[in-house]
Amino acid sequence: MDKKQAKKRIEELRKLTEHYAKKYYDDDNPEVSDFEYDMLMVELRNLEKDFPEFNSKESLTQKVGGHVKEGFKKVTHEVPLQSLQDVFSIEEVKDFDERIKEQAIKNDIDNVKYVVETKIDGLSAALEYKQGKFVRGATRGNGTVGEDVTENLKTVKTIPMEIKDKIDITVRGEVFIAKKEFEQMNQIREENEEELFANARNAAAGSLRQLDSKITAKRPLDIYIFNVQKIEGKEFNSHYEELEYLEEQGFNVNPVRIYCSNMKEIEKAIEKIGEDRESLTFGIDGAVVKVDDLHFREILGTTAKTPRWAIAYKYPPEKKETKLLDIRFQVGRTGVITPMAILEPVKVAGSTIAKTTLHNEDFMKEKDIKIGDTVIIQKAGDVIPEIVEVVTKKRNGNEKEVSIPRTCPVCGAPAIRLEGEAAVRCTGIECPAKLFRNLVHFVSREAMNIDGLGENIIQQLLDNGLIKNINDIYTLTFNDVASLKKNGTKFAQNLINSIEVSKQNDLYRLITALGIRFVGSKVAKTLAKEYKTMENLMKTTFDELSMINDIGPVVASSIVEFFKQEQTKDLITKLEQAGVNMNYLEEEGSDNRFEGKTFVLTGGLENFTRKEASDIIEKLGGKTSSSVSKKTDYVLAGEDAGSKLTKAQNLGVTIINETEFEEMIK
């Protein structure tokens, strides 16, 4: 490769690695596998070595990836949180050992010792203690400046809020989600047809970097401490000694650490970790080899990005061949029909894989997947099994091509794929697979607004066979509801009253509640005002809908298809028989003084309930939110306002009291 070609490729690689690093570190949403990214970095590093005239401090080979997320305070690390130099072969580890030995000889150091540890697949964080008490925690960020995530780290149960010795110490650890917990998280997301986390590392990173610590608290985060960054009034001679001290103090220390005296022992340690990696409860993406002598580490020093006294050995992803025996289809809670590959069981990276998702129609076509194919399986991030390719040369002509059905395999309703979407969805509103999600939406605040009928109660009603369809809400009796709770008399009466009140809702709420694709409350209000009755709306045509402002062809098509379904007609008939209003009740007010404004309500109000104040704001064109951010326009603060008020003050958001609010709505 000549200089011109090298320069061009270096520039391409820098753009690619910057893009992929942003998706990985900043967005917690990787676009390529760790292995693919690592190989790009290896190519870039080698080219920069061969053509040093093109070196740049802005290259990711010279700096740590990652930036501070907006919304977090910045923390400057007193001791930088550097990354490690990755290597991909034992030969490179031997080269590292030779370099260390050369420096040892130059500095009259005998018997260099090492510690080999697991490289935990998570997000690096620094924990700061003053007089033994946890005072601040921060992410690595770019190595020099990180994000203050103290409140989020306080939700991690394995982080001690106070340690044994009353000293000032900063330690470094890796925040992670254990394999079992990660699989459970993704299983729930799959059931809810939410995008799956690509791997445990990004799930942990996304959880730790939440602006709302209540969300973080719901995630199963854990941490292993692996280094002392800074300590006052105490000295150590070796890294191993440091780790033992940290354990005595109550820290959750990296459990895999192997003391090695030579290269042969290092090789055995790496091999041992590789063999045991699947039995570990946490995910790893390599083994770290560290010089044990802390004084020698100081002599060896660091580069701008990495320490010279440590390297990370990365294990290659394991791939196996197996047979694709069948393709089956499952319907999720939102109606998405997902193809599942049924495989001849094969052991990959320590786990037996018998099935895996094929995601969607485009994925199947892109990979050219057929029943009877020989396929290659690997585990993405060592957790999620996936088909990476089809071995087409092993085809014998008996393979069978399969497409996602256009009829729901559960309820028989038409299944459609809308333009611009990858998913094929069941359109049946009475489909049993969609019932829970449809019920939750139907009773929600912006829809029929049935107070007291939350997700837990809905699940109990389903489990007890008291609801089998949406219209069954209106056949519930006092005794049905009271049976769900001990001493549930008051609760039952309130819920039955709320259900009865919902029958008188305006037509737009019912339209919203039906969950027509692309039809939210705003479009529902437009439709209610335009058609006046449910009967008129059900008879509408694509051409008529297309003439209405704010309704494009995609929305119009979705509405027409929805009302064509027999299940839709059946449900509306039953709701009407139950006494649910089918008519437009009131003209929309023309007063939109709060249009584009977001309010947050906090504390106790004297003259309004929270719901009454929210309804007024929404009627005047505004909206309410449960959390304060820079985008919040007003915080309406009542008695005993708490953390939301404090956050609003810190962000400079306009704070109003009840009297000022009453003036605004006159």
Rg of the chain over Cα atoms, rounded to whole angstroms, equals 30
Q: Locate the DSSP E strands across 263-407.
A: 284-291, 310-313, 319-331, 337-348, 351-357, 370-371, 374-380, 384-390, 400-401
pLDDT averaged per 10 residues in sequence order, the chain, 666 residues: 85 86 71 75 87 84 66 90 93 96 93 95 94 95 91 94 96 94 84 74 87 86 96 94 96 95 96 88 92 96 92 87 95 88 85 87 94 88 77 94 93 87 89 91 93 91 93 94 86 92 94 92 90 96 89 91 93 96 74 86 83 82 86 89 87 92 88
585 Cβ contact list (under 8 Å, min separation 6): 506, 507
pLDDT value, residue 70: 64
User: Residue 216 corresponds to which tokens in the numbers above?
Assistant: 């973080």
Give the Cα separation of 450 and 446 in Å (integer): 10
- Domains and their CATH numbers in the chain: 3-54 (1.10.287.610), 74-313 (3.30.470.30), 319-401 (2.40.50.140), 427-577 (1.10.150.20), 598-665 (3.40.50.10190)
Give the Cα separation of 36 and 420 in Å (integer): 28
**C-alpha neighbours within 13 Å on the C-beta side of residue 306:** 15
Q: Locate the DSSP E strands across 103-247.
A: 114-120, 123-130, 133-139, 145-147, 169-177, 221-231
**Torsion angle of C-alpha atoms 49, 52, 58, 61, degrees rounded to 10:** 10
Give the Cα separation of 267 and 272 in Å (integer): 9
Distance from CA of residue 416 to its chain's centroid? Answer: 27
Give the Cα separation of 329 and 415 in Å (integer): 12
Pick from 550, 514, 322, 354: which is nearest to 427 by CA? 514
Give the Cα separation of 15 and 9 in Å (integer): 10
Phi and psi, residue 534, nearest 5°: -65, -35
Asked whether 322 and 374 are in contact (CB, 8 A), the reply is yes
Return the residue matching tokens 């009253």.
497
What are residue 623's DSSP bridge partners? 598
Backbone region of residue 222 per phi and psi (left: phi > 0; alpha: psi in -120 to 50; beta: other values): beta
Give the Cα separation of 35 and 401 in Å (integer): 31
CA end-to-end span of the chain: 75
User: Residue 236 corresponds to which tokens in the numbers above?
Assistant: 């150590």
Pick from 117, 87, 90, 84: which is nearest to 282 by CA? 117
What are residue 33's DSSP bridge partners? none
Cβ atoms < 10 Å from Cβ of 214: 12
296 Cβ contact list (under 8 Å, min separation 6): 103, 104, 107, 109, 112, 309
Give the Cα separation of 217 and 154 in Å (integer): 9
Give the Cα separation of 347 and 341 in Å (integer): 16
Give the Cα separation of 53 and 3 in Å (integer): 10
What are residue 201's DSSP bridge partners? none
Pick from 510, 356, 340, 337: which is nearest to 434 by CA? 337
Give the Cα separation of 502 and 509 in Å (integer): 9
pLDDT value, residue 590: 60
- Catalogue the active-site residues: 119
Pick from 73, 98, 110: which is nearest to 209 by CA? 73
Cα angle: 262, vertex 265, 266; to 5 degrees: 85
Q: Locate the DSSP E strands across 586-653.
A: 598-602, 623-625, 634-637
Cβ atoms < 10 Å from Cβ of 231: 17
Q: DSSP letter at 442?
A: H
Q: DSSP letter at 346?
A: E
**Burial letters 366-380, b for 16+ CB under 10 A, else e:** ebebbbbbbbebbbb
Asked whether 243 and 251 are in contact (CB, 8 A), the reply is no
Cα angle: 97, vertex 99, 100; to 5 degrees: 65
Q: Give the type of residue at 133.
A: K
pLDDT value, residue 586: 64
Helix, strand or coil for residue 196?
Answer: coil
Q: DSSP letter at 197?
A: P
Cα distances from 373 to residues 318, 346, 385, 491, 603, in angstroms, run 20, 15, 17, 56, 62
Give the Cα separation of 118 and 254 in Å (integer): 8
Cβ atoms < 10 Å from Cβ of 188: 10
Give the Cα separation of 443 and 458 in Å (integer): 10
pTM confidence score: 0.56
Helix, strand or coil for residue 624?
Answer: strand
Strands 654-656 and 634-637, bridge-based pairing: parallel
Tell me the per-residue pLDDT of 208-258, one tens digit each, with 9 for 90 and over. Answer: 988 888 888 889 999 999 999 999 989 999 999 999 999 999 999 999 999
